[in-house]
Structure 1
């Protein structure tokens, strides 16, 4: 009989409740056994068979748990992941994996010493738009890529008297750490490590206490790569603009999985991740404009790979090298914004 991995979650907010729990609950190779959260009623409402505990330490003390997902506020990720590893647990850490390259390397080295897996959750590799772009680039549909721009904007004014931890100042807070890892991971997956990093990170919303805007330019010898995100963009349709020697591809709208998860749909449904036609992108080439049907998005491969990595020693989809490279770019983006300089990627 195939091994079933026993899973615990630390945190049951958006990430734990709406991203991980649905995929874990429909995958027979995982058993979501225990959740540490300040919201016991939300855990019971999702599935009363899941054990609830009040603290992460209680969860780590459960010797039956093989794998822990860290879905708590950003500044707690490293501490909780370290404790989980020290208790012999494999860990998946929500973005950001760590608040610096140094912390990321320390966690990865601890996992290696313990013979355990430590990886980062990078679900946006399996978004419909990104899968479609990967396919078009593999087919050389644009010729040689010259210019790549990706935006991830929202309209999120600061609520009056907001108590959300995401709106409180502190280490690891702000849009660069929350949406930045998505855009950066996708670009690094497509193009590899950059030569240079140039960035602006700033506050633009009225009454905001955290950086809510960034633009990052990754320097490559043969192409332009720009990543931008603002929480003050009312019309936030545009996502991707790619221009090559033989054509352009323009794409708007977000992958449909998150909105389906938020209304309690489970990812074992037929046509899961199919994108509505009004979000399909347009390929401009040879004097024609053709709407390109998006590949269906599906985060399931992340969990399938996770199982294979833990049980059968497969390489994790999100490797230690991926994690360290992304952490270095965020460090450099912060430094570049502060010094107003373009910085070399290599140390």
Structure 2
């Protein structure tokens, strides 16, 4: 009989409740055994068969747990992941994986010493728009790519009554650590190690206590790569602008998976991840504009790969080298913004 991986989750907010739990609950190779949360009623409302514990330590102490998802506030990620690894658990860490490259290296070393998996949750590699862009680039539809811009904007004014930890000033808070890892991972996945990093990281929203805007330019000798996010953008349709020697591709809208997960839909529906036609991108070439049907998004391959790594010794989709490289870019982006310099990688 095939092994079923026993899973524990720390935190049952947006990430734990709406991203991981639905995928784990419909994948027969995983058993969601326990959730450590301050909201026991939310756990029971989702599924009464899932065990609830009040503290991460209770979860670590369970010898049956094979894999722990760390979905707690940013500054707790490394400490909880280290404890999990020291208790013999594999770990998946929500963004950010760590608050610095040095922390990331130390945590990855602990995982390696214990022959365990420590990886980062990079679901946006399986967004419909990004999968479509990868296909177009692989097919050479734009010729040689010379300019890549990706935006991830929102209109999120500061709500002082919400008391969200994400809006409280602390090390590791702010949009660079929240949406930044998505944009950076996609670009690094496509183009590899940059030569340099240039960035502006700022506060734009009235009343904000955390940085909510970033503009990062990754230096490559043969192309322009720019990543930008602003939480004060009322019109935030534009996502991707790609320009090559033989064409351009412009794409708006967001992958539909998150909105469907927030509607309590489970990712075992036959049309899961199919993007509405009004979000399809347009390819511009000599023959005129052409609407390009988006490939369906699906985050499940991330979880299938986790199983293969833990049970069959496969290579993780998000490798230690990927994690360290991204953490270094964030460090350099902050240094560049602080000093106004272009920082060599």
Bin the TM-score by the shorter chain: over 0.9
Q: Partners in 1 of 2:160 and 2:307 — Cα distance?
A: 43
Matched with 2:219 is 219
Matched with 1:266 is 266
Counterparts of residues 102-251 of structure 1 (less than 5 Å): 102-251=102-251
What SS is found at the alignment partner of 1:239? strand
Q: Partners in 1 of 2:160 and 2:323 — Cα distance?
A: 36
What SS is found at the alignment partner of 1:302? helix
What SS is found at the alignment partner of 1:82? helix
Q: TM-score, with normalisation over the residues of structure 1?
A: 0.99
Alignment gaps of 5+ in structure 2 = none
Q: Partners in 1 of 2:163 and 2:265 — Cα distance?
A: 29
Q: Partners in 2 of 1:138 and 1:106 — Cα distance?
A: 35
Q: Partners in 1 of 2:237 and 2:17 — Cα distance?
A: 26
What SS is found at the alignment partner of 2:7? strand
Matched with 2:99 is 99
What is the aligned-residue RMSD (CA, Å)? 0.5
Runs of 4+ in 1 over 4 A off after TM superposition: none
Matched with 2:298 is 298
Q: Partners in 2 of 1:167 and 1:18 — Cα distance?
A: 20
Aligned-residue offset at 1:161: 3.0
Matched with 2:53 is 53
Stretch of structure 1 that moved more, 93-102 or 160-169? 160-169
Matched with 1:2 is 2
What SS is found at the alignment partner of 2:323? helix
What SS is found at the alignment partner of 1:337? helix
Matched, 1:275 2:275: yes
Q: Partners in 2 of 1:55 and 1:202 — Cα distance?
A: 35
Q: Partners in 1 of 2:235 and 2:204 — Cα distance?
A: 16
What SS is found at the alignment partner of 1:317? coil
Q: Partners in 1 of 2:268 and 2:2 — Cα distance?
A: 20
Matched, 1:65 2:65: yes
